[in-house]
Amino acid sequence: MNNKKVLIIDDDAGFRYLASLLFKKAGAHVFIARDGLEGISKLFTHQPDLTILDVTMPGLNGFEVCQRIRQISDTPIIMLTALNDEKEMLRGLGAGADDFLSKPFNPEILLARARTVLRRAEHLQTQTDTFKDNDGYLSINVETRAVLINGKRIKLTPIEFRLLAYLVRNAGKVLTFEQILSKVWGTEYRGNLDYVHVYISHLRNKIEEHPKHPRYILTVHGIGYMFER
The string of pLDDT tens digits covering residues 74-114 is 899 999 987 767 778 888 888 888 898 888 888 999 999 99
Q: Are 225 and 219 in contact (CB under 8 A)?
A: yes
The string of pLDDT tens digits covering residues 148-171 is 999 999 988 888 888 998 999 899
Q: What is the share, in percent, of the chain residues with pLDDT greater than 90?
A: 58
Q: 214 and 198: one domain?
A: yes
The residues facing 226 across adjacent strands are: 218
Domain with 151, as residue range(s), is 132-227
HSE-CB at 44 with a 13 A cutoff on CA atoms is 7
Residue 61 phi, psi dihedral angles, 5° rounding: -80, 175
How high is the pLDDT of residue 122?
78
Q: Choose one of 126, 151, 185: the last residue of a domain.
A: 126
Q: 92 and 13: one domain?
A: yes
Which CATH number do you get for residue 66? 3.40.50.2300
Omega cis (within 30) before 104: yes
Q: 10 and 116: one domain?
A: yes
When mean pLDDT is compared over 22-36, 55-69, 127-141, 194-208, the highest value belongs to: 22-36
Q: 23 and 92: one domain?
A: yes
How high is the pLDDT of residue 209?
92
Average pLDDT estimate for 37-48: 95
Mean pLDDT of the chain: 89
Q: 113 and 191: one domain?
A: no
The string of pLDDT tens digits covering residues 199-225 is 999 899 999 999 999 999 999 999 999
Dihedral over alpha carbons 196, 200, 201, 204 (to 10 degrees): 180
Q: Which is nearest to 38 in space by CA: 24, 59, 23?
A: 59
Q: 175 and 210: one domain?
A: yes
Q: 13 and 119: one domain?
A: yes
Q: How many domains does the chain have?
A: 2
| Alpha carbons 8 and 32: distance in angstroms, whole number | 5
pLDDT-derived band at 5 (thresholds 50, 70, 90) equals very high
Q: 144 and 77: one domain?
A: no
Q: 94 and 139: one domain?
A: no
Q: Choose one of 97, 126, 155: the last residue of a domain.
A: 126
How high is the pLDDT of residue 124?
61
Q: Model's pTM, two decimal places?
A: 0.76
Q: 136 and 122: one domain?
A: no
Q: 103 and 136: one domain?
A: no
Which CATH number do you get for residue 190? 1.10.10.10
Q: Choose one of 109, 126, 143: the last residue of a domain.
A: 126
Q: 214 and 171: one domain?
A: yes
The string of pLDDT tens digits covering residues 108-153 is 999 999 998 998 877 665 554 556 777 889 998 877 788 999 999 9
Q: Which amino acid is at 203?
A: L
